[in-house]
Structure 1
C-alpha cells in the first residue's frame, strides 16, 4: 500500500478494512517520513506494531 492511500484510509469517515499479511489490522499512524505504519491487530488492540507499508492491503472493493 502506498503512503498516500494509507493516510486516506486513516482519514476516512467510514471503516475501510485493511490487513497485514492476512491479519485484519487498524491503521493507527502513518508517519510522513519513512515507509512504516503503526497498526494493531483488531483482535489484539493492545499489541501495537510498526510494520512495512508494502505488507498492508486494502480488503474488499476499492
Structure 2
C-alpha cells in the first residue's frame, strides 16, 4: 500500500528518528508523532498501524521505498 504522507508528518517522524539515533528521543517528540499518525490515520481512513509502519519506511528506509 502506498500512502501519500503530508510533509509535516514526515518532518515529525524525521525529527523523532534523528532523536532516536542520538539516544535522546523526548516525550514531546514521541507524543507529537503519535498524535500526528493517529490524526492522519483517522482522516485517511487507514489503520494507525499501517500509517505508522509506512511512515517509518519512508523516513528510515527511503531507498527501499524508491526501489
TM-score normalised by length of structure 1: 0.26
Q: Which one has the largest radius of gyration?
A: 2
Name the structure with the higher helix share.
2
